[in-house]
Structure formats: C-alpha cells, structure tokens
Structure 1
Amino acid sequence: MTKPPKMPNPQASIDYLTDACAKLSGAMQHFLQNPPSLSMATSYDTSAVLAAMTDVMTGVMAQPQRLIETQMKAFDEWSRMWQDMWTPGLAAKPAVAPERGDRRFSDADWESSPFFRSLKDSHLLAARHLREFVQSSTEEDKSKRAMAELIVEQYLNAVSPTNFILTNPQVMRRTIDTCGANLIAGFANMLEDLATGRGIVQRRTDDGAFRLGENLACTPGGVVFQNHLMQINQYTATTASVRARPLLYVPPLVNKYYMIDLQPASSLVKWLVDQGHTVFVVSWVDPDESHRDCGVEDYVGTGVIEAIEQVRKVTGSDAVDLFGFCMGGTLLSMATAVLAARGELDKVGSATLIGALVDFTDMMEWSAFVNDAHVDALDVHIGDKGYIAKDELQRLFSMMRANDLIWSSYISHYLLDKEAPPSDLLFWFEDGSHIPEAFLRTYNRKLLLEDKLREPGAVTLLGEHLDLTQITVPVTIIGLKDDHVSSWKSVFRGRQYFGGEPIYILGGSGHNAGVINHPSRKKHGFWTNADKTTDADAWFAGAQKHEGSWWPHWSDWLYANDPGEEVPARKLGGGKLKVLEKAPGSYVLGA
C-alpha cells in the first residue's frame, strides 16, 4: 500500500512565514543602508576570453567530418536515453550517470520520478556532448582551450536543474511544506550577503562554531620569532624525548597556515608533535598596501631562509627538515636551491613537497589564466591597491569547484533556507589572505607563464641562479589523486628536476582534504612505487595501494633520514628566543 504524502503543518507554516517576512524586512533595511558597490574592474582580460572562445569554436568548425561524427554519436545516445526512460527495467546500464563525486542528484526523486529522472539525464547528456564538442577543437593554444572549457563548465553548472525551484524535487517539497516561506527567508539571506560587499554565496559554513586558538589552531605553543612578513610558531612537546632534527612547515600565501592545525582530532601539527617531532610553522602576515613591494625574493629570503636560521638557533640543530604545501612547497624548493647555490645545503636535512608544483607545463583549468593578456590585466588590476584581495582569490578558487563551493550553497541558503553545517576546513578556506603586487608579478611571469623554475639557472633569486638538480638532500614529493589545483601528474613530473632520487607518494582525495587525513579515520589510502620511471601512468599502474593515511609512512621516512639520536624535549624558544605570544599568534588572528 502506497504511503500517503506528508501534509504540511498549517500552524508551523504560518509561524515560519511570519518569521521569514520579518527576516526579509530587516534584511531589506540593512541592504538599503549598505548597498553593494558596483565595480567594473576585473583581474582578467575580457577580450582574451572572447578571443579564446572564438578561436576554439573556429577550430571545431575546421573539422566538418568530425563534427558530423559527433552529431551522429549524440543522436544515438539521445535515442538510447529516451528508450531507457520508457523502459527503465530493460536498460542494462544507464545512458548517462553523474561523475564520481557529483552529489547534486543524490535525492531519491532524481531516480524514482520519471519527470525528474528525465531532467537529470537530459542535463547530464547535453553536458557531455557540449564538453566533447569543445574538446574536439583543433585549437592548439592550451590557455585558449582551457578558457573555453572553463566557460562551458561554468555555464553547465549554472543551468543545472538542481538550481531552479520547479526542477529541484527537494526545493519543491520544502516550498510546499513551508507555503513558500523558505523562498522569502532565502531572499533575505541573499540580501544580507550582498550587504556585506563580498557578493553572494558567502555562508558555506557556520562560522560561529569555531574560535581560533580555542577549538581551531589550538595546538599548544608560542610565537618565537616575528618580522614584517611572518611569525614562527613553535609547538610544545608532548613526549619526553624528540627527534634530533626539527621540522619546519612553509604554507602557501593565499591561505593561512592552520589547515594543518584544524580541530585537534584532525590536526597534522598535533599528530606530528605526538610522534616526537619538534614542529615549527611559518605564519605569513596578511599583507596590506605597505607590503606592495614584497616580492618572491622577500618571501624566500626574509621568509623561508630566515625561518630556517631561527629554527636552527632555537634547537641548536645544524639542519632542518622542511615541508610545504602548494605554493609553500614551491617557495621551499626555491629557498633550498638558493642555499645549494651558496654552498649551504647542509642547513636542510630533507624537503617534502605536498601538492606543490615546480613544473607548470600543465595547470589544468588554471591554464585559462596563464597567458600574457590575463597577466597584464592582473598587473593593472592590482596596481592601485598594491595587492590582490583575498575575496577575489576565494571567488576564483570557488569557481574552479563551482558545484561544491557555489551552487550547493546557493541552493542551501537561498532556496532551502538551511543553516550551513559547521566545517573546519571550509572555515579555513574562507579565512584567506591578500597577495602583494610585487610577489604576483614575479611569480606569475617567471614561474607560471614562462615556466622557468625547472630550467637550471633560468631563474635568478637573491643573487643566485637556481638549479633544482643541486638539491641532493632526501626529497619526498606527495601528490593528491583528486587534486583540482595541482594535478597529481604535474606534481609527479617535478621529481625529475631534483638531484638525488626523490620519493613519490600519491595520497587519496583532493587538494585540501587529501592533506588532512588523520590515521585514526582510516580513509582515502595512498600509493607507493619505488620505480624511477618518469611516466606517471606507468608509475601508478605498478604502484601498491595502502589503506589509511600517508602520515605514518612519511613520519617513518623522516625518522629514517635523521642521523641524530633523540634529544630531551625542547622548550619553547630553546632559551635563545623569547616567546612573544601564544600560538596561533596575532598574524593569524588579525589582531
């Protein structure tokens, strides 16, 4: 017997409707008092976007035979889809299905209802054909192809049936249950977001659930050094003795360091301290106009190399083990190359790069912005302020994962009027930093656009010609299998440029979540292979998969490459430097 549909509670609906109207009234007043400014300035060249689309489409039309074949294939697949729609029990395999990780169509009605199923399958099939259409272009410029694919992807994300009231079963049910109050309250949410001046879709998580230094970035420690670019946190030992060689973390500039020190149950910093490592962390300042002229040389010299010297002073250790994530790993590589050129490589015990690139040949979707036109436009855009704002960077990163970071929030906050659940990782993601003008100019041209770091001697920094082949200390390179920022294959290519025999580890999951993988969770897994091949696919084909986190495997490697005996647990500052304040420090807190 079919279960009757649940009927709305009239009084509950009236109460919700009353509250929603009151909320909208307050939001409207706030919006009118704080109207958003409309800026036409962009950090990219709009004419280059149009030129890329035109050239890629011209490249499609240049192959009429292939275009006809694509159309015939599309006709066959559409015919099969509609046949399966009317005879679902006979279909051995659906004509189209969401890609792995696509959570938009998780509601049961997307399969059980013929109407919603037809909407879903039609959208997914049309999306596949449009992607194949663009990919069939003969256009050879990687940046133009990436831009065209990016524009198409943003369009497909925007027109998904999940984003509209009448074509999303979950939104329809919610609207009926609340007599439309969810849409009124959702509109109020949108006005409140617009009034902040940061644009829409800002509340991805419950910010009130986290407090830095209390339940986030709360591993005990203190700031033992500070200059105009960074603070250095040292963390309190939890073991009676510690490994002889200290460990120093270099984070990227775009986000603050504490991705590796989220809640205690997932903190890499706490876990490393508990394994007997003396851990130091660079905490970059959030720059303002006064940092306009701080370039790559400053962040490498006054930043990474200075941090190495201070850690050596605190611990009395001759060498320091370095590890860095994303851009931090690239800076770490440059700093180590500078020390090698100076004959001071013995100050570095080992280097670990996590999701970090030194070969920028293939930047996937990011290639769309790696060309002269866009780099020139960015130079002009940041000229007045002296930096690129954190909000702009966050919007760019969000666009690359629009379904997860934009449209899911749009549906949740504006259509369903649901509070965002607490997420420490999203809290960190939204707590970004500016990047100074001088840094971006050099980094974008020499590294991203010209791709010079992998060429021995092609980049000059602090008076030294950088040559990664002179880095002969033990090196581990860690890629993340589902990384949308630094492709694991691009990260893999980096190991051929270092001296010695770098080890490669492939972790599961994506750019951020793949790093924060505490062993207790037993998730994701990782792959290892001792083969020295430079072919990423061949390496993966012969790799052994291990269950759980790569953290213990890496920690064992650190211990194996440390020739010193364990020493008594070190005090903060080591008697050489004064503890300036408690960790995480004012540079993270914004005080």
Structure 2
Amino acid sequence: MAPIDLPPEKLIAEVIEYSRKLQAGAEHLCTAGGLASEAIPTGVSPREAIYREDKLTLYRYLPDVASNPVSDSVSDPGSNPVPLLIVYALVNRPYMADLQEDRSTIKGLLASGQPVYLIDWGYPDGADRFLTLDDYINGYIDRCVDRLRERHQVERINLLGICQGGTMSLCYTALHQPKVRNLITMVTPVDFQTPDNMLSAWVRHLDVDLLVDVQGNIPGDFLNWTFLALKPFTLAGQKYVQLVDILEDQAQVENFLRMEKWIFDSPAQAGEAFRQFIKQFYQQNGLIRGEVILGEQPVKLNKITCPLLNIYGEQDHLVPPDASRALKGQTGSTDYSELAFPGGHIGIYVSGKAQALIPPSIGRWLDER
C-alpha cells in the first residue's frame, strides 16, 4: 500500500479551515434561536381546523389571498370544485408535505387550483392502544370524507394517499368506491415482499404479537431508529460530517434543522393497528393477494374503478419502485397512470425537481378528470 502523500502544510491548512467552519457554524446555530426545539416551524401554509375527533384534526389549507381575494370561500372561483383530501402515514408527521416556503407540496397543489385538506393524526397515547385499522380507515377517514362531501356538496372527493397513507387510501377506496372520484397514491407500498425491500425482509421475522403485548403502543423512536438503520452510514453518520460544509450558510443550516426535527418527531403507533398492519400487509402480503380484512370486510383492489395516478420514487429505499409499480393491473380501473420521480422517499416532497414536477402534474391530472 502506497503511503499517503499529505504534506504537513496542507494538513495544517485543512485543520484551520475546518476549525473556522465550526466556529462560523456555532454562531449560525445560536442565531437560529433554538431551532432544534419547538421553535422550528411545523408547516408554513395558512390553514384552519374544520373538524376534530379524538387526536385527529382535519385541516383546510387556505389559498393565496394575494392571488385570490375570495380565498375564504369553501370553493374558490377558477379552482377545481372537487376537494382533495391528503391522507398521510401514521408513522411520521404530515408537515413534510409543507416543510418550508420553497419546499411545499401543499403550496404547489394550492397553486394548481386544488382545494386542499389534510388529516393530521396527532400523537396517539395510552387511550388509543386498542385502535384498529378498521377504526382508522372505516372510521376516521370515512367521517372526514363525509365532512368534505357535505361541505362541498359533492358525492365524491379526490383522495391523495402518501406512503402508508396511500395503502390506507387504497383500502378505503376499495371499500367505499362511490365516495372517491379520483385516487392518487404517492410512494405507496402495494407488494410488501419484493426482493429489494430490506425493511420488509426485517419485519417479516418480527414477533409482533410479543412486541405489542409487552409495549402496548409502539414508541416512535423504535420505528425511527429502524428506518435509520436501513442506511446507517448515510443517515446516522455521513450527513453530520457533511453538515460542516454548510454551516456557514444560515439558510442551509435552518433547512437542515427543519429536516432533523421532522425525522425525530415520530408519533407512537396505536398497538393494535400496528399489529394488524405488520401482520396483514408485511408478513402476509395481504393487500396484493386480496386477503386483508378490515371490520370483517375483505379488501379487494379490483373494487377500485375510479381513475388512479400512482407516483413513485426511482431511488426510494423505503418503498422500492417495484413495491409501488405492483399496483398496475391489480385494480378495476380503466384509467391508470404512473409517474416516476427521479429521486428518493423524502426528495419527492422537498427537492426542487419535485416541486417543479409533482404538484403541477397532480393538478393537471385532476383537472382533466
């Protein structure tokens, strides 16, 4: 092995530069005013709560008043008259879809003329220990859908399901097709046992009964560290080393801390719902096999007949492309489209490419239908 050619003067220069960056970064972190705490904003778009039940809040996002002076009306002139309900995953907080001014899927959807609503699941506690997937899907989601149908005086709404929320939206639509006009799934697992799915390979060997019986609700930190362990070098080490290179840029420091807050802001999971999701979806692969049972009702994807847009990330390590693309040919829809995003599970919400591609594409697709 050849010796490393590193002249002393170069090494000294690098150490001095590294120290300078750390000093500047410390100042910016202090200037950020405690951005590692509750001071970090959790969403930037104006919104109003229109319905609450238990931990759940249903939000309506307000259109830009500057571009639409009558934005306080339920359905604004020139916008799509059909409301769009976003169903986010249970395992993370939904403000990833509205992270900051220039990284907001929700702002992009509003700009495309969609009346946007979102279910915020809140933070489950001990009182929610025995909530089931039936409670979430045939209960909470269905009541939110009915609120919007009544509010907008429409028979059917548009549904956008993100990640696990997309899987739940598929189940909901299969059981309540008359209430859904168009369905969009985004980084949504359908086949939970594709060969490249590392998370699935781990979870299939989990004794979920023992875990839930002992823990009750599943702590958010347990799931979060599981996700980080999928790419430990990149997610738990490399990004903090690379942080030094952006410490001199106040805006980039704040962006980094916003993302860090979201990553570690992980709600607990209602024990029974978690047990059912792991067993029926991951371990039994029941969705694609037509074997999922919710409230004694079988979930059959071929019962979905509305137009369907399936969006996936080509570099997604949590929901590999094949896990999402498996949806093609499984439903009864004659209007099925796919949109591939050249990025990963998080980039699909916050990257510049995503902002230019995803919300406008969804808006056009909905308006055409």
TM range (shorter): 0.7 to 0.9
Q: Return the match for 2:117 from 271, 274, 280.
A: 280
* CA 1:210–1:265: 2 relative to 1, 3 Å: farther
Other structure's SS at 2:288 match: coil
Aligned to 2:363: 555
* CA 1:207–1:306: 2 relative to 1, 3 Å: farther
Please report how far the alpha carbon of residue 265 of structure 1 lies from its aligned counterpart in structure 2 after TM superposition: 1.8
RMSD, aligned CA: 3.2
Q: Return the match for 1:432 from 249, 261, 266.
A: 266
Aligned to 1:259: 96
Please report how far the alpha carbon of residue 175 of structure 1 lies from its aligned counterpart in structure 2 after TM superposition: 8.3
Q: Return the match for 1:491 from 298, 303, 324.
A: 324
After superposition, the C-alpha distances for 1:10-57 in whole angstroms (9 at most, x for unaligned) are xxxxxxxxxxxxxxxxxxxxxxxxxxxxxxxxxxxxxxxxxxxxxxxx
Please report how far the alpha carbon of residue 346 of structure 1 lies from its aligned counterpart in structure 2 after TM superposition: 2.3
Amino acid corresponding to residue 397 of structure 1 in structure 2: F
* CA 1:399–1:115: 2 relative to 1, 3 Å: farther
> In 2, Cα distance between the equivalents of 1:286 and 1:255?
10
Matches within 5 A, 1:437-476: 437-456=271-290, 458-476=291-309
After superposition, the C-alpha distances for 1:158-215 in whole angstroms (9 at most, x for unaligned) are xxxxxxxxxxx9999438986xxx9xxxxxxxxxxxxxxxxxxxx9xx7834887985
Aligned to 1:223: 49
User: Does residue 348 of structure 1 match 2:180?
Assistant: yes
Amino acid corresponding to residue 364 of structure 2 in structure 1: D
Percent identity of paired positions between Structure 1 and Structure 2: 22
> In 2, Cα distance between the equivalents of 1:318 and 1:304?
16
Instruction: Indicate the larger mover: 322-331 or 303-312.
Output: 303-312
* CA 1:494–1:177: 2 relative to 1, 3 Å: closer
Other structure's SS at 2:86 match: strand
* CA 1:177–1:323: 2 relative to 1, 3 Å: closer
Aligned to 2:162: 325
C-alpha contact 2:112 2:359 (8 A) present in aligned 1: no
* CA 1:273–1:210: 2 relative to 1, 3 Å: farther
Other structure's SS at 1:549 match: helix
User: Does residue 174 of structure 1 match 2:12?
Assistant: no
| TM-score normalised according to structure 1 size | 0.53
C-alpha contact 1:229 1:302 (8 A) present in aligned 2: no
* CA 1:207–1:478: 2 relative to 1, 3 Å: farther
Q: Return the match for 1:407 from 228, 231, 237.
A: 237
> In 2, Cα distance between the equivalents of 1:266 and 1:176?
31
> In 2, Cα distance between the equivalents of 1:233 and 1:524?
23
> In 2, Cα distance between the equivalents of 1:268 and 1:316?
26
Other structure's SS at 1:505 match: strand
Other structure's SS at 2:59 match: strand
C-alpha contact 1:390 1:432 (8 A) present in aligned 2: yes
Please report how far the alpha carbon of residue 462 of structure 1 lies from its aligned counterpart in structure 2 after TM superposition: 2.3
> In 1, Cα distance between the equivalents of 2:198 and 2:181?
35
* CA 1:300–1:550: 2 relative to 1, 3 Å: same
Structure that is richer in helix per residue: 1
Aligned to 1:248: 85
> In 2, Cα distance between the equivalents of 1:507 and 1:386?
37
Amino acid corresponding to residue 267 of structure 1 in structure 2: S
Aligned to 1:392: 222
Aligned to 1:237: 63
How many correspondences in the alignment? 340
* CA 1:214–1:220: 2 relative to 1, 3 Å: farther
C-alpha contact 2:109 2:360 (8 A) present in aligned 1: no
Please report how far the alpha carbon of residue 347 of structure 1 lies from its aligned counterpart in structure 2 after TM superposition: 1.1
Aligned to 2:253: 421
Question: Structure 2 unaligned runs (5+)?
Answer: 23-28, 69-75
After superposition, the C-alpha distances for 1:231-266 in whole angstroms (9 at most, x for unaligned) are 100122333512111000000011111111111222
* CA 1:175–1:393: 2 relative to 1, 3 Å: farther
* CA 1:254–1:264: 2 relative to 1, 3 Å: same
| TM-score normalised according to structure 2 size | 0.82
> In 2, Cα distance between the equivalents of 1:288 and 1:170?
53
Aligned to 1:199: none
Other structure's SS at 1:388 match: coil
> In 1, Cα distance between the equivalents of 2:303 and 2:121?
27
C-alpha contact 1:481 1:507 (8 A) present in aligned 2: yes
C-alpha contact 1:288 1:386 (8 A) present in aligned 2: no
* CA 1:463–1:383: 2 relative to 1, 3 Å: closer
* CA 1:212–1:480: 2 relative to 1, 3 Å: farther
> In 2, Cα distance between the equivalents of 1:426 and 1:171?
32
> In 2, Cα distance between the equivalents of 1:170 and 1:491?
48
* CA 1:209–1:229: 2 relative to 1, 3 Å: closer
* CA 1:300–1:248: 2 relative to 1, 3 Å: same
Amino acid corresponding to residue 331 of structure 1 in structure 2: M
Aligned to 1:375: 206
Matches within 5 A, 1:3-42: none
Aligned to 1:312: 149
C-alpha contact 1:304 1:331 (8 A) present in aligned 2: no
Structure that is richer in strand per residue: 2
> In 2, Cα distance between the equivalents of 1:278 and 1:396?
35
Amino acid corresponding to residue 92 of structure 2 in structure 1: N
Please report how far the alpha carbon of residue 482 of structure 1 lies from its aligned counterpart in structure 2 after TM superposition: 0.8
Please report how far the alpha carbon of residue 512 of structure 1 lies from its aligned counterpart in structure 2 after TM superposition: 1.1
Amino acid corresponding to residue 550 of structure 1 in structure 2: I
Question: Structure 1 unaligned runs (5+)?
Answer: 1-81, 87-112, 117-168, 183-202, 340-344, 526-547, 562-591
The structure whose Rg is larger is 1
Aligned to 1:270: 107
